[in-house]
Amino acid sequence: MFIIQATLYYLPLLSTVIAVVLSEQQSPIIIVNTWPFSNATDAGWNVLSPSNSTLFGSSIDAVVAACTNAEDDPNIESVGYGCSPDENGHTLLDAMVMDGKTMEVGAVASMPDIRQASQVARDVLLSTKHTLLVGPLAAEFAKSRGYKPTSLDTSKSHNLWIKWQKNNCQPNFRKSADWVPDPVTSCGPYRTNVSDINSPKLKDQRIKKLDINNHDTIGVIALDAYGSMAVGTSTSGSTYKIPGRVGDSPIPGAGGYVVDNIGGAVATGDGDLMMRYLLSFQVVDYLRQGIGPTEACKRALRSVRSVSAPLSYFHLTLTPNFK
């Protein structure tokens, strides 16, 4: 038996639960993703079940194909080039691929100038003994693998950045009391507010991101004809993030996690929170204990609700052999 569980959860209210149950003798071919990026899903499906071949593709290649499709789609404003500029006006990419059979992971983070982030992550997985490459040197690795450098910035992303600057750089991700000038009312360059560095209000203050589109990271889970599972993620990160920031997407256990014969999970939302709680790992670990996918998602999210302010998340869980 195979169960796909999609849970849309707005803390503290569970608003939508969708479950699909498939029961077959052979391993079914399944691919799902976090948002209605149907073209991306189709691209992954065509790898898993090619119409012109009797050979079935792997779950790893399927999640990469799906993520690549989203990365190349100019209409998706949260994945790939030309979107989500940072404070300096530049777009950088994060991506991860995880193999549920070997538990190997390949990931890149804060990578400039290379549009095929998920493909480079797969190269890290398959062609190195490392897990995560970051920054300009991740791009250098990609070039050594034959990827051609291309600017990730476009006129659209530049115009977004200019508009943001004209709005006094609002919203942003800096805690107000720690900086001069005050990031609530002004753009940088910022420097440390020495007079308030020991202020107790620093412990509680955080400027929350306000852009609803910041949650639309693509996360993909695939189960291939051979019974192997994989997850893939790709994102351009939070819009107007502080340069150098890395989100949850390339972090195993946060953006995604998968174990063959147990299940897989991907998540999207406030990546800084998800890295603290490793929500995808929590979900899969609950599945390992025999807990159903809906309850696994609920329990993982409760760990956030018990500590942090309400925020929205979307969890997608795929569990094989669940009873």
**Running DSSP on this structure, what letter comes out for residue 207?**
P
Q: Token digits for 252?
A: 């195993």
Is 7 labeled as catalytic in the residue annotation? no
Give the Cα separation of 141 and 281 in Å (integer): 28
Ligand-binding site membership of 246 (annotated): yes
Q: Token digits for 306?
A: 């018990």
Of the candidates 217, 233, 235, 317, the residue annotated as catalytic is 217
Ligand-binding site membership of 271 (annotated): yes
Ligand-binding site membership of 302 (annotated): no
Q: Angle of helix 59-72 relative to helix 117-127, nearest 10 degrees?
A: 150
CA distances (Å), 314 to each of 34, 123, 172, 202, 270, in order? 7, 28, 23, 29, 10
Ligand-binding site membership of 106 (annotated): no
Query: Where do the H-state alpha helices sit in the chain?
Result: 38-48, 59-72, 117-127, 135-144, 155-166, 271-277, 279-288, 293-305
Tell me the DSSP string of 258-269: EETTTEEEEEES
Q: Is the Cβ–Cβ distance between 193 and 180 less than 8 Å?
A: yes
Ligand-binding site membership of 42 (annotated): no
Nearest residue to 33 (alpha-carbon basis) of 260, 318, 295 = 318
CA distances (Å), 242 to each of 110, 172, 200, 209, 304, in order? 11, 8, 23, 12, 24
Residues listed for the chain: 323
Binding site members for substrate = 245-248, 268-271
Residue ranges at the known binding site: 245-248, 268-271
**Catalytic center residues:** 217
